[in-house]
Amino acid sequence: MERNLKRMATMHRMQAKGLEMFYQNGYFNTSIDDILKELSLSKGGFYYHFNSKEEYFISIVQQLLFRKVYSQLVAPIEGKEDPLHTIADCLDKSLETAELNFLDYGFELGNFINEFNGKHPEVMRALNDILKVWEVCLITVLQKGKTDGFVSRHADSEAIASFIISSYMGIRTLMVDGNAKNLRYKYMSQLRHYFKLMEHNETV
């Protein structure tokens, strides 16, 4: 058992540092050597645990990135009532974290999708899987919101979900180099306006 623990510990250490550096510099602009230097680990050590840079990256995506997105964007709204307010609060919280993060480089998932878009199908599949989980969660919770009387029955849950995702991905990108605080405020104000549209307000 001690064995397995050590293995897990090392791999996790490698993955965590990898995510950190790929996020900061991008996948293609980060070399295995760069990462290993930071980890004080050797080439042999790396290739003992992973077969290639790409496989390494995919494992990071499936394990670390998935959990990160899930805990930040999915879990806080999953199964909740009053979806519109819940979603808005969840996104605002995410933006707040980004705003306060001195070393923010945007939305990890979004950045990687951008970097791999249209190529590297294996990697894209892993990234799209995460996106899909988020999307499905949004749609589900919006649909439930309809039956629970929080969301207008005319609202198009799928379209709303896509709109939320795209706007969030975009604002995270803009916030990196712009006035994050101001952008966050502006974004949230517009998003909340937009959300008011589909509140259940049929006066019957």
31 binds, among DNA, a second copy, none (CB under 5 to 8 A by kind): DNA
H or E element in which residue 92 lies = helix 83-100
From 38, 54, 129, 148, residue interacting with DNA (rule: CB under 7 A): 54
3 versus 119: smaller Cβ distance to a second copy: 119
CB 93 within 8 A of CB 76: yes
User: Distance (Å, rounded) from C-alpha 55 to C-alpha 108?
Assistant: 18
Write down the least CB distance from residue 54 to DNA, Å.
Answer: 6
Tokens of 143: 């649909």
Q: Is 202 in the site for a second copy (CB under 8 A)?
A: no
Q: Is 163 in the site for a second copy (CB under 8 A)?
A: yes
Binding-residue pattern over the window 14 to 53 for DNA, x denoting contact by CB under 7 A: ----------------xxxxx-----xxxxxx-xxx-xxx
79 versus 170: smaller Cβ distance to a second copy: 170
Binding-residue pattern over the window 29 to 68 for a second copy, x denoting contact by CB under 8 A: x---------------------------------------
Q: Is 147 in the site for DNA (CB under 7 A)?
A: no
For residue 96, with 0-12 CB atoms within 10 Å meaning exposed, 13-18 middle and 19 or more buried, which class applies? middle
User: Distance (Å, rounded) from C-alpha 28 to C-alpha 14?
Assistant: 17
User: Distance (Å, rounded) from C-alpha 146 to C-alpha 151?
Assistant: 5
